[in-house]
Amino acid sequence: MPKGSATIYQVAQHAGVSIATVSRVQRGNGPVAADTRARVARSIKSLDYRPSPNARSLAASRHDASGIVFPDLSGPYYSEVIYGFERETVEARNSVLILGTHGRERADDLVHDLAARVDGLVIMGRTVPDRLVAELGRMKVPVVLLARPAVDGADTVLAENRNSAVDLVRHLFGHGLDDLLFVGDPDASPDAAERWAGFLDAHRLTGRPRPAPPLVSDFTEGGGHAAVRGRLSAGLDGRGLPAGLVCANDEIALGALRAARDLGIQVPDQLAITGWDDIPVAALVSPTLTTVRQPMRELGSIAAVLLAERISAGRVEPRHVLLPTSLVLRASCGCQALGGEIS
């Protein structure tokens, strides 16, 4: 017999037991007498039986796979979150199927298709509408929402945004920077919407007038560069420069730094710039970037843990996890003390 080609039926016949008994011995659960368990184990070894992963999954109505749905798969933020999710999932010997929806037609259908091939889904941000999340819940698909408010009993994992945004903006006010401009798109991301809300809160709490609307940008370095360069060029032509830019993420802020450099605008002497996430390059650019640190890998790993609880333990009651964030003060806002970083 070729190595590893024995079937569960052959093992059962060799040991003189039912296939259900072989399955219980393999899984290590269920009542099996010690001498029977030992006999089955000898048959498994003698026949070199290796159960098929597909057969195990079908027998348990499981795929041994988890799905994660992201708006995009590029960029340091997404890669860190995916790394945290994948590390936790692979350690549990499950596969990970990843779907990026950006620019794809019929994204809802793709998510439906993915849901049929995995045991549960992590859905990030506004990649799919609330009605689809609710529909997946009615289909009994375990769902964890990442960086998105709760929908119909799904678990959620979020990082704190609003209070840290207040702290960041008030810090800039402490530098004497009153004319601040928010750069990003609050309508495109729940996280960005919370950061914009905190930006507004800081103005209200300090008795300042409502600021200008956001300078809309996508969440890439290229998008930040294009949006900010246009605004700064207009400022140099007579509109006037803002005192500081509060960017919705570090990639936008990196684009803003490049735009300022292109136009000969000194950061932070003429313009303060801040980001959000604290991606690794934030500490390496010049000037180093003031930002808000969020636990990107932990977001992914906790989402994986919650999903595993839903799948394996059958937990029904939703859990909601809010992770803390913290200011990282560096040179781009004017902080030069302590080597340019104050956490």
- Tens digit of each residue's pLDDT (9 = 90 or more) over 230-261: 999 998 887 799 999 999 999 999 999 999 99
Tokens of 294: 């969020």
Model-wide pTM > 0.85: no
Residue 252 has, within 13 A of its CA and on its CB side, a CA count of 25
Q: How many angstroms separate the CA atoms of 234 and 72, rounded?
A: 31
Q: Give me the pLDDT at residue 323, please.
A: 96
Tens of pLDDT along the chain (343 residues) come to 554 567 777 888 899 987 667 766 876 655 688 889 899 899 988 988 876 544 444 444 567 889 999 887 778 998 999 999 988 887 766 788 888 887 677 888 889 889 888 999 999 998 889 999 999 988 889 999 999 999 988 999 999 999 999 999 999 999 999 999 999 999 999 999 999 999 999 999 999 999 999 999 999 999 999 999 999 999 888 779 999 999 999 999 999 999 999 999 999 999 999 999 999 999 999 999 999 999 999 999 999 999 988 888 788 899 999 999 999 999 999 997 444 455 5
Cβ–Cβ contacts within 10 Å for residue 276, how many?
Answer: 31
**Nearest one of 153, 158, 115 to 134, comparing CA atoms:** 153
Contact residues for 32 (Cβ-Cβ < 8 A; gap 6+): 21, 24, 25, 40
Distance of CA 53 to the CA centre of its chain: 29
Q: Which amino acid makes up residue 241?
A: L
Report all structural domains of the chain as residue ranges with CATH numbers, in order of start.
Answer: 8-51 (1.10.260.40), 65-159+296-323 (3.40.50.2300), 162-294+327-340 (3.40.50.2300)
Cβ(274)–Cβ(332) below 8 Å: yes
Q: Give me the pLDDT at residue 59, please.
A: 44
> CA-CA distances (angstroms) from residue 215 to 26, 158, 168, 292?
60, 25, 18, 19
Cβ–Cβ contacts within 10 Å for residue 2, how many?
Answer: 6
Cβ(44)–Cβ(28) below 8 Å: no
- Tens digit of each residue's pLDDT (9 = 90 or more) over 197-238: 999 999 999 999 999 999 999 999 999 999 999 999 998 887
Q: Which amino acid makes up residue 194?
A: E
